[in-house]
Amino acid sequence: MAELGQIQAHLTTDTGLVREHNEDYIACREPVDPQDIQQNGWIYLVADGVGGADAGEVASHFASERMIAHFVENNQESDWGRRLLDAMQAANSDLRQLVAERNNNSRMATTMVTAVLQENQVFIGNVGDSRAYHWRNGLIQQITRDQSLVAKLLEEGAITEAEAEVHPRKNVILYSLGSENKPKIELFTLTLLPGDIILLCSDGLTRHVNDREINDVIGQKPLDEAAELLAQMARQRGGEDNISVVVIQYGQAKEQGVSDTAVTHPHLTATPSHRSFLWLYTGFLAVFMIVLIFFAWLVLRV
C-alpha cells in the first residue's frame, strides 16, 4: 500500500504572455492519514477553462472543486475508475446548473485531466485536450488522447502532422465539461513502478514544448525544478496560452548512475582484514609453487 510521503508532487501555473487572465486551474487533494489513503488516495488535476473574460476562470475553478468533492463523497464505490468518471460527470452537471443560474447566456466550459493514485495504480480521467503523460526509465508516453478537431482530422488521415501544427482551428476541442449533458470522458488505468512519474498539463505547455523536450527535463531535474522549467520554457517561446504543469512521482527509483553490475553481494564484500588474509594466502601459494618446481627440477636431474 502507498504510504504518506511515498507520493511526491509539484504543481505550477502561469498566465503566459498573451492572455490577460489565467483560465487554467490546478488542484490537488492529498491524504492526511492512513485511513484517508485507503478511502480517497491522492487526487491531482489540471483544468483549462473556456468562455472568455472571467467565465473560463470560473468554469475551471468551479468544476475542479466540485469534482474533488464528489469523488471524496462517493468513497463507498469500490471501483475507483467508475468513481472518478462519476465525479467528473457530476461536476459537469454542477457546472451546467451554474451557467443556467447565471442566466446571462455566457458559455462556460473547461477541459479536465485528473490523476487519482491508489496503492500502485493510477486512474486518469480526461475530457478535452489537456494531457497526461507517463514517464519511466527515461521514456515518456502520452496516456490521454486529445479530444480536438485537429487530433481527429489527423487520426482520420485528413491532414498531415505538418498541417496539424499550423491548422487554423487548432484550438477547437470536441468535448469539455459544461458543454453538453454527458461529454465523452475517457478513463485510463496504469500500474506504477517506483520512480514512475505522471505529468498533467494544459495545451499551453505542449504548443511550445515537444514530448522529447518534456522527457529530457523530467529525466534530468528534480520534480519542482522540472515543473517550473517546463512552464518557463513555454513562456520564453511565446507563452501564447496559459501554462499549467503538474508532476507526480510514485516512490523512489534506484539511484541514477548505479548499474546492476556494480552492486556487490554483502557477503562477498572484502573488508581490510579479509584483504590482508588474501594477500597472505596468495603469498603462501606462490612460495609453495616455487618449492614444488624446485623439487621437480631435482627429480628430473637425477
Summarised one tens digit per residue, pLDDT across range 147-205 is 988 777 877 788 777 777 767 676 789 999 999 899 999 999 999 999 999 999 999 99
- Based on the fold, state whether residues 172 and 279 are members of the same structural domain: no
- Based on the fold, state whether residues 153 and 222 are members of the same structural domain: yes
The set of cell numbers assigned to 255 is 539511484
- Based on the fold, state whether residues 80 and 18 are members of the same structural domain: yes
Model confidence band, residue 295 (pLDDT cutoffs 50, 70, 90): low
In this predicted model, what pLDDT tens digit does every residue of 29-64 receive, in sequence order?
999 999 999 999 999 999 999 876 578 999 999 999
In a domain, 143, yes or no: yes
Q: Show the domain range for 133.
A: 7-250
In a domain, 215, yes or no: yes
Greatest alpha-carbon pair distance for the chain in Å reads 121
In a domain, 71, yes or no: yes
In a domain, 208, yes or no: yes
In a domain, 200, yes or no: yes
CB distance 173 to 111 below 8 Å: yes
- Based on the fold, state whether residues 154 and 26 are members of the same structural domain: yes
In a domain, 261, yes or no: no
- Based on the fold, state whether residues 39 and 158 are members of the same structural domain: yes
- Based on the fold, state whether residues 48 and 81 are members of the same structural domain: yes
Q: What are phi and psi of 185, to 5 degrees?
A: -105, 125
pLDDT of 280 over the 60 cut = no
Question: What is the pLDDT, as a whole number, of residue 297?
Answer: 52
Q: How many domains does the chain have?
A: 2
Instruction: Say what percent of the chain tops pLDDT 70.
Output: 80
- Based on the fold, state whether residues 187 and 110 are members of the same structural domain: yes
Q: Is the pTM of this model over 0.85?
A: no
Q: Show contacts of 136-145: CB within 8 Å, 24+ apart.
A: 136/193, 136/195, 136/196, 136/197, 137/195, 137/253, 138/215, 138/219, 139/215, 140/199, 140/211, 140/214, 140/215, 140/218, 142/211, 143/188, 143/190, 144/113, 144/186, 144/188, 145/186
- Based on the fold, state whether residues 88 and 156 are members of the same structural domain: yes
Q: At a CB cut-off of 8 Å and minimum separation 6, what does 150 contact?
A: 159, 164, 167, 169, 170, 172
The set of cell numbers assigned to 275 is 584483504
In a domain, 150, yes or no: yes
CATH number at 230 reads 3.60.40.10
Question: What is the pLDDT, as a whole number, of residue 185?
Answer: 98
- Based on the fold, state whether residues 201 and 286 are members of the same structural domain: no
In a domain, 257, yes or no: no
- Based on the fold, state whether residues 164 and 66 are members of the same structural domain: yes
- Based on the fold, state whether residues 66 and 179 are members of the same structural domain: yes
- Based on the fold, state whether residues 204 and 127 are members of the same structural domain: yes
pLDDT of 287 over the 80 cut = no
